[in-house]
Structure 1
C-alpha cells in the first residue's frame, strides 16, 4: 500500500513538473507589471507548492511525526475506552 501511494505521488509530481515546464515559456513573466504578470507569478507559486508537497511526501519527511501522532491517538483511545468501561461497570452495579 505504501509503495503504491508513493508511486501515485511520483506520477503527480512528474505531471506537475511537465505542466510547469510547458507553461513557463507561455507565461508572461517579463518586466511589465499588471494582471498578466501577477497571474504568471501566482500560477508559478501554486505549481511550486504542488511540487514541494509531493516531494515532501515522497521523501517521507514526516514519517516519524506520523508514527508519534498515531501512538498518541492510540493512547487517547485506550484511555477513553477505559473510562467508558469504568462508567459502564459503575452503572451496572447500581
Structure 2
C-alpha cells in the first residue's frame, strides 16, 4: 500500500521518478570532465521549505527527506536528490564569495 501512495504522489505532481536514482549520464560525464574530487552516493538528508509558494501549492514550513548524491569537483559543488539537481554552485559564484 505504501508503494501505491508514493507512486500516486509522484503522478499527482506530474512526474514519475525513482527517489534513489543518481544523476543522469550527461551530468556524470560533465562532472568527470571537471575532475571529481569527492563523490558521495546514497547520502540521506532533507530539504526544508519556508514560506514556499508555487501554483497550486503553498506551505509555511515543510520538510522532505530524501537520498541523493553529493559531488565536489575542481569547479563546483553539485547535489542531486529526489530525481532533480538541488544544488549546483560554482566556487566563484558571487553569493559564495560573500559567505566567508
- Report which of the two structures shows the higher radius of gyration computed on alpha carbons: 1
Q: Which has the higher contact order (CA 8 A, sep 6+)?
A: 1
Q: Whose helix fraction is larger, Structure 1's or Structure 2's? A: 1
The TM-score, its normalising length taken from structure 2, stands at: 0.20
The TM-score, its normalising length taken from structure 1, stands at: 0.21
